[in-house]
Structure 1
């Protein structure tokens, strides 16, 4: 700054301040996939041969990270493993996270997504 008579009265200084913002958001199931190249998931439906073993991975996005699991499974895991599929079925993936707001309010959010299996038979199916 300069005074009216042209004398420097102060010098400009620059300060950079980093601000980290942690945005909390509930889970979204972003992808259902299989590491088996013969299994294709289309519109949350898979077609498998009777007797096949399958693995389906459920992926989510959330902050804080969500716990991802398949309802009815013995262990909490984002991977569903089915040994020797015998008939049509529906499985449900669930993602859950808990957020603590600035005012201390705790909220839990859940989201689910179903996957339907259509079992194909080489010969006539008998259940």
Structure 2
């Protein structure tokens, strides 16, 4: 594209030769004029707080013990890796990794006595169609 532009070809001719949209050719030539390169630039915005290494440490910590609170995990990461982060950041990263703070509902233990006691109710429910 740039070679065609330097060879005094029009944007329409370049797009027709390369079979790509004129807007793409125009954008790339404009970028080349302003920046001197056609390579993609890094994204703007605030960098992530945790690197890949920190995320691996966090995942390893949570897999070892599921009962730890976010506060204790943040303290552990600070002592082991030197990562200074808040419990809110730890929770956000864990949710991003697929860990969610959900506990199973407590269910009554079903002993033989409880099973006999519940049997009539289960039979009645099965016959009523519920």
- Measured against the shorter chain, the TM-score band is under 0.3
Select the structure that is richer in strand: 1
Q: Which has the higher contact order (CA 8 A, sep 6+)?
A: 1
- TM-score, structure 1 as length reference: 0.23
* The structure with more radius of gyration: 2
